[in-house]
A and B are shown apart, each in its own frame.
Chain A
Amino acid sequence: MKVEINGKMLNANEGETILELAKRNDINIPSLCHKKGFDGLGRCRMCLVEIKEGHRTKLVSSCVYPVKDELKVQTHTDEIIKIRKDIVMLMYLKSPKNKYVQKLAEEYEIMIPEKYVQKISDDCILCGLCVEACRELGTSAISMVNRGTGKKVSTPYDDESKDCIGCGSCAEVCPTNAITMTENENTRTIWNRTFELVSCEICGKNYTTLETLKYSENLLGQKIECICDECKKKITAATFKESFKNIY
């Protein structure tokens, strides 16, 4: 099907979102709560675009809006740019000390109403990616709690969670580095719980938690060798080389 973005006709695939189509065609639509491999969440609202269907124009979040034939999309109207600037401003008011948000504010040349900057800076922008990552893994140790302005991400009662395996996926997907994960010699602490680390049998570096390893073994129903991703890659590369040798 044909979709027009900023005047350019593009070939769209059934079932993809406007954002996915734009990304495939190197059209930049900013988004904070979207990550490849995840369903769109429509939370941060940065990816708003204007669409025209028939005579009506409206603003929609491109990360969840499915493409339709003959859809016309504008990604950078004055109205949209103003809204994006305001969103960044609102995030800055909540997270003034966060490096990532500061960079965004600079990039978007935001005028900050200093009077309304929060005294206590909160790094989390509630994009929800960490919760999604944890759910996708099947652990669901963290979730969104409360509502309204009191909304936050946490484990139940902020306690250490029996469901958490300390894999660190949440921290990895977090765009603002809001999740604290600290590592000592043999332990990792995240979400108020401390985990024992496992070292790679080849290079000897700590690379995951014992709980994560057990969780994966459980899922696969077999024992897993304790080899870190880097060493795994090296082994694959070596095998590859080896097999080529035999051909020639």
Chain B
Amino acid sequence: MRRVGGGFLALIALTLPLWLPSAYHLHVAIMAGIFGVLALSLNLLLGYTGQLSLGHAAFFGIGAYTSALLTLTLEWSFWPALAAAIALAGAAGWFIGRLSLKLRGAYFVLVTISFAGVISLVSVNWIELTNGPLGLPGVPAPELGPWSLRTKTTYYYLVLAAVALSYAVSRRLVGSRIGRAFVALRENEALAESIGVDVTHYLVLAAVVSAAMAGLGGSLYAHYTRFVSPEVFLFSYTVTMVIMVVAGGKGTLAGPLVGAVLFTALPEVLRAATSWQWQMLAYGVLLVLLVVFMPRGIVPHINAAFSRTPRP
């Protein structure tokens, strides 16, 4: 049953460009995919180790800037630039993981916010490197051998592959010994430590993988919008990721993806449904209502509802 469901989902995802009514919808699907990667990345830290990173836009932005700068100034092609973006974001994750290995909860939150704040200010002020607030326009579209992935449909499949990869990595990690160590950390750190889980090691590992994944999302974003500016470090990007993970259902593999699709589509649905004055107000109110009625997130709530039905 599970396998049939997975196949069905894959079929929908693979054929999406065929039955979506317009390029605009495909654009929304691509953005949802990029945010899906980001949400999966944040979920590794928040959902599985219980550490909330509110500086995740920093890893995203580092990925975007690395990829954009390498392709623009050094004229690297897309693939090595993508690898470098993943590596550099991962390195930043390692740095933050090492830096804050003693910190938990609110304090970890603040270190990550501050880190993102500093990086964002560097992107604005280090003009020679980043072109400052004017940003980097004209980031090239990726190429695969002789083909340019310039069209929306090809880019959609590239993003879809990235989502699948991120999902597979998350799943692999969570299902392994490492994943069980993560969860042990989240549930009871002292206990985990007492039975021999190397807490520091696993936290740093989670931070590195999570940041590298965010870097992947950043690179995909840069080559899709073809423009990178310091706004990629905006706190609102982090907030969007948090909304997707927590509202979708943290600590589940499907939750962040559901959240990413829902909260990428919602602003666009509101664009169509109501005039601009009401859009963000409605967004906030809907978010509050969602938390009040499904405090654990959409996916866990639906799971609970389904498992209750057979046993009335």
A binds B: no
